[in-house]
Amino acid sequence: MPDRSSSPAAPPRAAAPPRIEDRDGLSGLLARLRPGLPGGHGGLLALLAALLLLFSLFVPGFASLGTLQSFAYQLPLLGLLSLAMLVPLITGGLNLAIIATTNQAALLMVFVMQTAMPGDAGPATVAAVIALAMLSGLALCLVIGLATGALVAYTGVHPILVTLGTKSLIDGISIYLTRGMALSGVPEAFSRVGNATLLGIPAVFFVLVVAAMVVGIVLKRTAFGISCAMIGSNIEATRYSAVDVKRVLVGVYALSSLTCFVAALVMIVTFNSASADYAQSYLLVTILAAVLGGVDPFGGFGTVGGLMLALAILQVISSGFNQFGLSNYLTVAIWGATLILVVMAQTMRPHLSGLRASLFKRRAGRARGERT
C-alpha cells in the first residue's frame, strides 16, 4: 500500500488578487440598484406637493392650465441636458461639454437646413434635407462622445479636465465659425412638428418622457448600466470583476453625447434658431438637479426617477417665483442655496446615523443595567 505521506505535495495555489473593499460591497450595491433609491422618492414627492400647494395658495393663477403648459414646454431642454449629465455622474465622472455639444449639433443641423434646402423645395425634398441635417447632428454628437470617452478611458486624466478641454474646444470652434451670431431659417415643417401639442401638452415634453424611459431602462435593466454604477462605486473592484472598464467609459460619454443630440433637436424647435451661447446657464443646474434627485456626487448611484422629480421641483420654484414677480437672479440664488443644503444633508447623514446608533446602544445598555 503506497505511503500517502510520501506523495508529492500539491503545488501551492496562486495568490488571489487582493480584495478591494468598496463602500457597500458588490452584493450591497446590486441590492441597492434593484429597489431604486434608498428610502424611496417620498421626500421629493412631499417637497413637490408642498411647493405646489404653497404657490397655488399665494400666487394668483398658478394652478391653471397655462402654468401646466408652460411647465411642459420649458422643462424638456433642461431635462434632456440633465439626463446627459446623469450618465457620467453615476460613474463618478462629469461631462462639462454637454451644452457645447448640444449647441454645436444644433448649429450644424440648422446650417445644413439652410444651405441644402432649395428655394422651390417640395415636401419630399424638405423631408430629405431635414433627415440629412439630423444625421449630420447625430454623427457629430457620436464623434464627440466617442472621442471624449476615449480620452477619459485611455489617458487616465480626470473627466473634469478632459471635458473642460473639449468644452472649450467645441465652444471656440462654434464661435469662430458663426462669429458669435445665431443661425436661423429653420424649415416651417420642422418647427410645426416640434411645436405640435397632444391633448394640450407640447410634443417636446413627450420627447423628454421617452428619453427618460430609455435612459432609465439602460441604466437599471442592462449590464451596461450595472457596470456604470459599479465603476462609480469602486473602479478597481470593477476591474477585478472582469468588466471592461475602458469600453464602458467610452460608452458612457457616447450615450451622454447622443442625449445631447436629442436636446439639440428640442433646442432648435424651442428657439427656432441655434447659437453657441444658448443654455449656457443650464450647466450647473443639471448638476444641481442630479444631486437633488439623489445622485451620489462621487458616483455609484442615481436614478432617472429621482432626477425627474428634482427637475419638477426646480421648475415649480422657477415658475412660481416668476409669476410672483421676483427676479430670475433670485431664483438662481435659491437654486444654489438648495444645492448647498442638499450636499450638507448628504454629508451629515452618515454622521447622524452613527450618532443615532450610538445613542440607541447607550439606551439599551442602561436598560440592561437597570434590569440587573
- Note whether residue 38 is domain-resident: no
304-327 pLDDT per residue, tens: 888 999 898 888 888 887 777 777
Looking at the predicted structure, is the pLDDT value of residue 4 above 70?
Answer: no
Of the pLDDT bands very low, low, confident and very high (cuts 50, 70, 90), residue 110 is very high
- Read off the CATH number of the domain in which 118 is found: 1.10.3470
Least confident of 80-84, 115-119, 158-162, 350-354: 350-354
Does residue 36 or residue 97 have the better pLDDT?
97
- Note whether residue 199 is domain-resident: yes
Least confident of 184-193, 207-216, 305-314: 184-193
Looking at the predicted structure, is the pLDDT value of residue 94 above 70?
Answer: yes
Of the pLDDT bands very low, low, confident and very high (cuts 50, 70, 90), residue 141 is very high
Q: What is the pLDDT of residue 3?
A: 46
- Note whether residue 143 is domain-resident: yes
- Note whether residue 369 is domain-resident: no
Chain-wide mean pLDDT for the chain? 81
**Percentage of residues in the chain with pLDDT exceeding 70?**
83
- Note whether residue 48 is domain-resident: no
Count the helix, strand and coil residues of the chain and give each as a percent rounded to the nearest 5.
75, 0, 25
pLDDT mean over 292-308:
83
- Note whether residue 287 is domain-resident: yes
Q: What is the pLDDT of residue 170?
A: 95
Q: What is the pLDDT of residue 166?
A: 94
Torsion of CA 179, 273, 162, 154, to 10 degrees: -120
- CB within 8 Å of 256: residues ≥ 6 apart: 84, 85, 87, 88, 95, 98, 145
Instruction: Report the sign of the C-alpha dihedral through residues 105, 107, 109, 115, in that order.
Output: negative
Of the pLDDT bands very low, low, confident and very high (cuts 50, 70, 90), residue 350 is low
C-alpha cell at 8: 508529492
Does residue 349 or residue 176 have the better pLDDT?
176
CB atoms within 10 A of CB 63: 13
Question: How far apart are alpha carbons 303 and 232 in whole angstroms?
Answer: 13
- Note whether residue 248 is domain-resident: yes
Query: Do the beta carbons of residue 294 and residue 303 sit within 8 Å?
Result: yes
Degrees (nearest 5) of the Cα angle 102, 103, 108? 100
pLDDT mean over 77-95:
92
- CB within 8 Å of 128: residues ≥ 6 apart: none
Q: What's the farthest any 2 CA atoms get from each other in the chain?
A: 101
Q: What is the pLDDT of residue 69?
A: 82
- Note whether residue 364 is domain-resident: no
Residue 329: CA atoms inside 13 Å, Cβ hemisphere, count?
0
Q: Count of domains in the chain?
A: 1
Question: How far apart are alpha carbons 237 and 241 in whole angstroms?
Answer: 6
Least confident of 166-170, 248-252, 260-264, 304-308: 304-308
45-62 pLDDT per residue, tens: 888 888 888 888 888 878
| Residue numbers of the domain that contains 293 | 66-353
